[in-house]
Amino acid sequence: MGTDKTVRRRRVAMIRSVSRLPETLAAIHQDMWSIGFGKTSVPDVDLRPVEDAMREATNLSARIDAELPALFRSTDPDDLTTRQFDEVYTAFKRERTACFEGLLQLENFLRRGFSVPTESGGSASITFSLLNRTADIGQPKHILKMAAEQISECFPIDEATEASLPAGTVIEDYHVGDIYKNISHATIINRSTVERAFNRYMDAGDNDVAVALKKIAEHVDQSGNHAAAALFDQFASVANEEEPDKSKLHQYWEGLVAILPKSCPVTAGQSQ
């Protein structure tokens, strides 16, 4: 079991790393724009933070490639999830390459200065904002972020939820069916979401479902479990839709069952 908990912690950390790479590359792009905006040359000292950030992003990217596929396989995924992962990971790598190539091109512009040869044999200075358009990575950045989010969805929902929370929010010594211990008791349930779902089912005459939702909310709130609270917010949001997606409800419910104590007074049948 200790090994399982160690692997689970590695998976949560990897999901965070996958999500962090698009953010890191977007931040580098913004920094380059800020450094070069309105200028025709940039001193080397201004480029050092960009160079450091690029090295960090390169190392992060290499770690993802080295560890992500094996960590995904350690979840024992079904065939459908495996195909989904293969597809989105391929897109992730493709758009990541496009982002890196664009950023390297912009870094070279910053390093060389912004001038182009003229017909008379001289050169003319141009602004970085014009050069920035020749290496536009807006679309690759957007698709990379979407691919990262879809990779997260290929992992168990409780792990993806924990990875979306601040590091250290949820206890590390986790295993299915057990209770989280030593966690902070600052809950994050969105009470307005719960109340809307409760009122919706009461108005529709589904009193049992409404009461069950409220019981689950109370139990999660008392547990102080951040991961369970985040899952329940998602569960309640889907339940409040005009035509709730039952597959999503089931997925969120399974995540709740996995991380809440077995003493939870609500059965899976009441969640439908």
Give the pLDDT mean for 167-179: 37
Residue with tokens 């479990």: 225
Give the pLDDT mean for 58-72: 94
Total Cβ atoms within 10 A of residue 2: 8
User: What proportion of the chain, given as a percentage, has pLDDT over 90?
Assistant: 28
C-alpha pair distances (Å), 102 with each of 22, 28, 72, 96, 168 = 14, 11, 29, 10, 34
Within a 13 Å sphere around the CA of 77, how many CA atoms are in the beta-carbon half? 20
Q: Are 139 and 173 in contact (CB under 8 A)?
A: no
How far apart are the C-alpha atoms of 137 and 139, rounded to whole Å? 6
183 pLDDT more than 60: no
44 pLDDT more than 80: no
Which tokens sit at 169? Answer: 């929010």
Helix or strand (DSSP H, E) at 115: strand 115-117
What pLDDT, in 10s, does the model give residues 117-160? 566 766 666 555 556 555 678 899 999 999 999 999 999 988 88
pLDDT on residue 267: 37
Per-residue confidence band for 182, with pLDDT thresholds at 50, 70 and 90:
very low
pLDDT on residue 27: 92
> What single DSSP character describes residue 166?
P
How far apart are the C-alpha atoms of 3 and 200, rounded to whole Å? 44
Which tokens sit at 10? Answer: 């590695």
Return the sign of the alpha-carbon dihedral for residues 222, 224, 225, 226: positive
3-state secondary structure of 139: helix
21 pLDDT more than 80: yes
Per-residue confidence band for 114, with pLDDT thresholds at 50, 70 and 90:
low
pLDDT on residue 173: 35
Give the pLDDT mean for 6-33: 91
Give the pLDDT mean for 68-86: 95
Model pTM score: 0.59
**Extents of the domains making up the chain:** 2-155, 157-272
Which has more pLDDT, 197 or 179? 197
What pLDDT, in 10s, does the model give residues 216-247? 777 777 777 777 777 777 788 888 787 888 77
Nearest one of 56, 221, 72 to 152, comparing CA atoms:
72
DSSP characters for 4-37?
A: HHHHHHHHHHHHHHHHHHHHHHHHHHHHHHHHHT
Cβ neighbours for 31, distance < 8 A, ≥ 6 positions apart: 49, 50, 53
What pLDDT, in 10s, does the model give residues 247-270? 777 777 777 777 766 555 543 444
11 pLDDT more than 70: yes
